[in-house]
Structure 1
Amino acid sequence: MPWPEPMTPVRMRRVAVVVPRTALRDALVRIAEAGCVELDRAPDAAPGPAAQRLRGLRGRAGPATPENGDTAVLAATAPDLDRLAQRDDRGMLAGEAQLEERAGSAVRRGEVAALAGWCPAAEMPRVAGRLAAAGGALVPLPTPRGTDPPTLLRQTGRVSFTPLVTTYGTPRYADLDPSWPAGLAYVAMFGIMFGDVGHGALLLLGAVALRLGRPRRLVQLRRLWPFLAGAGLASMLAGAAYGEFFGPTGLLPVLWLAPLESPARLLTAAVVLGAGLLALAHAAGAVNRVREDGWAAGLYAASGCAGLLFYLGLALAAAGLVPHSPVPWAGGAALAASGLALLASGLFRASAGGGAGLAETVVRLFDVVVRAGTNTLSFARLAAFGLTHAALADLVWRGTAALAGRGAGGVAGAVVLFVVGTAVSLGLEALVAGVQALRLAFYEIFSRLFETEGRPFRPWHVPAAERAEALLRR
């Protein structure tokens, strides 16, 4: 089932690196510098000379390979390992230990050495050009039967929501890449719970500071700035709809509803939004099941076509029960029953059969029905925490307004209360909204998208050593 590239992980190719044996080191150094090839490694390989010296420097209890330790670098020509050990140059020894491990995994036939691995299809011409300079070649291979390629999600420009997905797990290579839809859903849910133009603007300013690397102690979180910026923007949009600017200050008109005055409408809207997100998650999950195991498996899965039919039917039946609704609830009920019948068939076929299989099928069907209802109602927390945020902001504003009318001392107290109250509510509610939006994304949405985890793409990357010439073999 072909899909546009932005909706799928980076396309991988199985490749073989073929070089003259005398040029194996040169080729490996070039591959390490390119940093876009994952080479196969022999399991339980004995540590080489560089790894042994590195272990001696670290202590006998330390790791023998550099993956878990020092920052590795590589010289273009093999250095003197004894001299490196004398100089306590663990970075160079770490790079040599990694190179030894890859070289030890090479298959040698006569004057030729070869290694297998994975490479993004778009990077193959660049890698082939680097290998050609060493007298080698990059040969495309067929993907081994029964083997999934490693997964690399796309980093589109400077704005990426892939950390949201990779924090949950690594999708299988055949799955759709939900980074952007999931990221937009996350910031939208955050905005509903944190709707305030003033508070959202502060988050947006924080995102700009994080993008610029300020404060420096948080520079390692810089890649998360799109989430903070998106959350701030969504909060400002929701705040404009609520008429909230550092609380119900009256500076903005209510464009949709005031949370504290219309809690039932906000609760209904949150559940409806959740139902829509779950329907989309079911649809994407059905696509994933078909792409992973074909139509036969995808048709009967709870997170596949059967689950999608059941949930759509359940949603239509529920909408038909609303007074004055034109949706025929009977049609939705029939669609839901069809989905349950498909699901029951798949569950029974996967069981041991007989009475035990029937009992197992009934229990699992009951679990599917209960989860559909509870997962949908779980989105009511969007309204609940939105009301909590509005109530805290209202409390701070009422106290500020009351103090401001009591002379100069009151004005000073009002300023202190407003600043401290805003800081407390901002920090507390932002944390709560962030955690709750993450919980909904993980447990309600991603649990329908992914059933099994894939393997992340881990290319071998070791930069060239700046002091290589001084450490070359004499």
Structure 2
Amino acid sequence: MITPTESRREALTEVARSAAVELDLPYTPGNGPEELDRAAEAAVENGPVSGLVGWTPARRLRELQGTLAPLGAGVVPLKTPRGVQPPTLLTGNEKRSRQAPRLSRLLVDTYTTVPYADLDPARLAGLAYVVMFGMMFGDAGQGLLLVLFGLLMRSGLVPALRRFQRTWLFIFGAGMAAVFFGILYGEFFGPTHVIPVLWLEPVENPIPLLIAALIFGAVLLAGAYTVGTINRVREGGWGYALYARSGLAGAMLFLAVGLLAGGLLAGIPAMVIAAAVLAGLALVLIFIGLFVEAGGGATGGVQASVELVDTVIQLGSNLVSFTRLAAFGLTHAALMSIVWQGTTALWHPDWRAVLAVLVFLIGNAITFALEGLVAGIQALRLEYYELFSRVFTDEGRPFKPWSPELPESGADSGPSPEPPAVSHPERQTP
């Protein structure tokens, strides 16, 4: 922002009210009108003009220029300096952004702030989470309870739940995923035979469920490698992506594992040979990347070798880790089977029917609470350790508009926290 010295404070007041600029100031911004004076003192002066450096979203540039022009001030776009990562603006409807952010947004932001150059996987992460939850919590009856609870939260009829109202869609989606897998498993508050088994019974067919979990995990890992490769290209170009463990080299190693498994299962020697060649090439590329990162030399070679072995082990363990989708789905089905067996054993057309109903209700309540907690935690663990570790290698910083509290502006709002998509602010000189 280039502005005559005499109108500097007035221009800064308008910038503060616009809440669209993050100023590069040599101190931690505070609140109150005195903040304007401190910002004015931090400006660089050159004759009759002074300037402050900061960031503003590209879509707000014209608006900012229009705000400052009547004050004799202007905006001069600058190129992004080398080695400087712009802040990431998580955009969205301003009215919504002052409320609690979407849970899919929180899934990513709890792990890291999306770097400026990276793709934002928030929506994909939310979808993957609810599907993994549903696979472990596969019961159509208990899933319907989650669906109804999500709709109840959306309605706002319960005052105590209104603060969590924006998470209703996430709970609704998790419930629908549980209903879907419950129908496949033939589970409706346990093996009650209310609905037929469309695919398999987890307790009776654990091996097919285990294989399905591995295949689903492989699909998720393939998606993570795809997004990770795109991010490595956007962060450092194709050269960087080629040697990165979470880029092309890592994706090639993952593909080699898939080819090897397919070749062995199908008995096709050509696939096994192709897998060996591809794996060798991938390991060489990964080693080179690790060697360069370690600084070269003998020490760098040892470090790169150790990390290369760790990369191979980690890939295998990450893939096997998805078997927990089957394991906890099997656990849920086994617990509900025990509850149903106890219910049927007690059921008689006399006073013992009351005991049977109590066993059924209490057993469902305990299983619902226990398995809901376990499935939620395990899905989160898979999201963070197996998937996000390949999508992100760096941490960004959020865009924080400079907006000190000004008594004369009344209810001027501060920065907009965490809405649903990522936009790239441009480097500006206010």
- Which category of TM-score, normalised to the shorter sequence, fits these structures? 0.7 to 0.9
Output the CA distance in 2 between the equivalents of 1:214 and 1:438.
29
Match of 1:170? 113
Output the CA distance in 2 between the equivalents of 1:26 and 1:400.
75
Classify 1:405/1:18 alpha carbon distance in 2 versus 1 (closer, same or farther; 3 Å).
farther
Return the match for 1:117 from 50, 54, 66.
54
TM-superposition CA deviations, 1:145-165 (whole Å, max 9, x none): 221110123548976722111
Task: Determine if the alignment matches structure 1 residue 386 to structure 2 residue 386.
Answer: no
Cα deviation, residue 332, structure 1: 1.7
Task: Determine if the alignment matches structure 1 residue 241 to structure 2 residue 184.
Answer: yes
Match of 2:414? none
Cα deviation, residue 125, structure 1: 2.5
SS for the counterpart of 1:177 is: coil
Give the total of aligned pairs: 405
Return the match for 1:456 from 395, 398, 401.
398
Output the CA distance in 1 between the equivalents of 2:410 and 2:125.
45
TM-superposition CA deviations, 1:4-37 (whole Å, max 9, x none): xxxxxxxxxxxxx334444444433333333232
Cα deviation, residue 303, structure 1: 1.3
Cα deviation, residue 406, structure 1: 4.5
Output the CA distance in 1 between the equivalents of 2:171 and 2:270.
39
Correspondences of 1:327-346 after superposition (within 5 Å): 328-346=271-289
Contact 2:32 2:407 (C-alpha < 8 Å) held by counterparts: no
Return the match for 1:423 from 365, 370, 387.
365
TM-superposition CA deviations, 1:280-335 (whole Å, max 9, x none): 21222122112111222221111121111111111110122115679822212221
Output the CA distance in 2 between the equivalents of 1:390 and 1:130.
62
TM-superposition CA deviations, 1:75-103 (whole Å, max 9, x none): xxxxxxxxxxxxxxxxxxx4324434433
Return the match for 1:128 from 34, 59, 65.
65
Residue type matched to 1:198 in 2?
Answer: G
Match of 2:13? 29
Return the match for 1:95 from 6, 29, 32.
32
Q: Between the two proteins, what is the percent identity of the paired residues? A: 47
Match of 1:359? 302
TM-superposition CA deviations, 1:395-421 (whole Å, max 9, x none): 2222233333241x2333333333322
TM-score, normalization by structure 1:
0.78
Output the CA distance in 2 between the equivalents of 1:135 and 1:98.
21
Cα deviation, residue 116, structure 1: 2.0
Match of 2:89? 152
Return the match for 1:179 from 99, 102, 122.
122
Contiguous gaps of at least 5 residues in structure 2: 97-101, 412-430
Output the CA distance in 1 between the equivalents of 2:261 and 2:393.
27
Correspondences of 1:7-156 after superposition (within 5 Å): 17-43=1-27, 66=30, 94-155=31-92
Cα deviation, residue 463, structure 1: 6.6
Output the CA distance in 2 between the equivalents of 1:112 and 1:284.
46
Contiguous gaps of at least 5 residues in structure 1: 1-16, 45-64, 67-93, 470-474
Cα deviation, residue 191, structure 1: 0.8
SS for the counterpart of 1:322 is: helix
Contact 1:161 1:226 (C-alpha < 8 Å) held by counterparts: no
Q: RMSD value over aligned CA atoms?
A: 2.8
TM-superposition CA deviations, 1:333-369 (whole Å, max 9, x none): 2211111121122233444545444333322211111
Contact 2:135 2:178 (C-alpha < 8 Å) held by counterparts: yes
Contact 2:191 2:340 (C-alpha < 8 Å) held by counterparts: yes
Match of 2:383? 441
Task: Determine if the alignment matches structure 1 residue 228 to structure 2 residue 171.
Answer: yes
Residue type matched to 1:388 in 2?
Answer: T
